Structure 1
């Protein structure tokens, strides 16, 4: 085995997609991509081709790590957007070679915090990351359900629609969330700010609505729901009434990497939402 490491910029798109699909073959969730979906992921999630790497055994791509960098709360953070190694090369040290290389890249880029997520059941990967100084800081869940909304729920609060790019201007915006839930990864989505009837802010949501061919909301992907006042069940119901346009038809809501520390997540779990995937959020400072 003769492993060499190349930057993604020095590889073809087919080599990158082959490395990705081989690297996540038999994974806990299906992550297979085409050249189009791979390229879209790089763009939509702000991943850097110049700082992502592919491992080759001779001419064969056998491993990959995608990386991105952002400034969050004044600190430069890095995100490992996927580490995969081909089945036949697992357990042979390729993962360690990749991790050593990306930590050099993070150091060169003067990143202060390194972040990643790993499927909770992927104990082998979690142990690897821990060997390189990462620590579990949170549990993140994908939840799915249809919120029960009373007919007058939406009347309880006021809302204002803004662009996701405007969220950081809010004094109560929380930028310290999973990479895919930060506004930069949801530029094609929607954002709303919520107020009580005295115009005191209650919180905000960042989400994407998916529409069917009849023009009805089919489902909502919820990336952030942050409350800044004391938790009230009626406030949550009112927010979902605003997001889902409940008057037309029941709408399925899917949370994306929702923090288990968030009171809204606990509310959904206690009110019929089911957990489809759980990840650990890991950080290396």
Structure 2
């Protein structure tokens, strides 16, 4: 078994490792060249620190890795570990995990993170063997949402760029990797204030437009209520984007987030459940 970095592989080798690695997986995540390259850039994944396992000249496994400063700590993200079906159960995942942990140690990572499909007990067990623990339950929701505003509320809306979010004192940086502002620089963000100019919540999202120039769907990455906010404010948050019936989806929303419960009570259904896992690296 030979390990190469993604930067040492051809694009075809890397794509083969990824697509074969997730063949028959719980959700379909096959990628073409354009989607793969966009994901590398958009999610801050490192070709130099991501790895591919080879059996002779055949790419049979892959781990994609990203690195960021989150809450002042160098944090890594395993953006996908895949093993070709013919090589599952033959120790490839162990080789990849040991090399990945070694990379994290060399890079002085303080916190290692990843997400796993909740039903994928084999993967979760593997990660637990390497010191990861489950920290959060995460949900992908989707469905049709219709405006639920019943009475006017004095809310001031400020539209900002995602890059401005970390400069707000109340912004919570520690969110699942794909929900962070860094992964959604082409998205949109709004902050909401009450009549006393106190922040009551914020959203990070993306709007998808149809050929007629109307909003086709909304993807929510963050919808957070702050101390002065409450669940009754959520419909006003969404109405600031559109007051029409719309397809709505969430990415890795915490099951414990009040917004998650609200959306499930108002037309959205659970499509995928994941667990967030973290490992505190030894200093």
TM range (shorter): over 0.9
Task: Quote the Cα distance in structure 2 between the aligned partners of 1:157 and 1:231.
Answer: 11
Residue 156 of structure 2 corresponds to residue 161 of structure 1: no
Q: CA deviation at 1:154?
A: 6.6
2:149–2:236 contact (8 Å) kept in structure 1: no
Match among 223, 236, 248 for residue 253 of structure 1: 248
Q: Which position in structure 2 is the counterpart of 1:126?
A: 124
Q: CA deviation at 1:151?
A: 5.6
Aligned Cα root-mean-square deviation (Å): 1.3
1:153–1:237 contact (8 Å) kept in structure 2: no
Q: CA deviation at 1:36?
A: 1.2
* Aligned-partner SS, 1:28: coil
1:153–1:234 contact (8 Å) kept in structure 2: no
1:168–1:175 contact (8 Å) kept in structure 2: yes
* Aligned-partner SS, 2:49: strand
2:20–2:85 contact (8 Å) kept in structure 1: yes
Q: What are structure 2's unaligned runs of at least 5 residues? A: none
Residue 90 of structure 2 corresponds to residue 92 of structure 1: yes
Q: Structure 2 length normalisation: TM-score? A: 0.96
Task: Quote the Cα distance in structure 1 between the aligned partners of 2:2 and 2:68.
Answer: 28
Q: What are structure 1's unaligned runs of at least 5 residues? A: none
Q: Which position in structure 1 is the counterpart of 2:239?
A: 241
Match among 112, 126, 147 for residue 110 of structure 2: 112
Q: CA deviation at 1:171?
A: 0.6
Match among 210, 218, 221 for residue 219 of structure 2: 221
Q: CA deviation at 1:149?
A: 1.9
Instruction: Give the 3 Å change call, closer, same or farther, for CA 128–99 of structure 1 in structure 2.
Output: same
* Aligned-partner SS, 1:146: strand
* Aligned-partner SS, 2:7: helix
Deviates more, 1:151-160 or 1:170-179: 151-160
Match among 202, 205, 208 for residue 204 of structure 1: 202
2:199–2:228 contact (8 Å) kept in structure 1: no
Task: Quote the Cα distance in structure 1 between the aligned partners of 2:149 and 2:182.
Answer: 34
Task: Quote the Cα distance in structure 1 between the aligned partners of 2:144 and 2:173.
Answer: 27
1:154–1:237 contact (8 Å) kept in structure 2: no
Match among 8, 12, 18 for residue 6 of structure 2: 8
List structure 1 segments (4+ residues) > 3 angstroms apart after TM superposition.
150-156
* Aligned-partner SS, 1:48: coil
2:165–2:171 contact (8 Å) kept in structure 1: yes
Q: Which position in structure 2 is the counterpart of 1:31?
A: 29
1:231–1:263 contact (8 Å) kept in structure 2: no
Q: Provide the aligned length of Structure 1 versus Structure 2.
A: 280
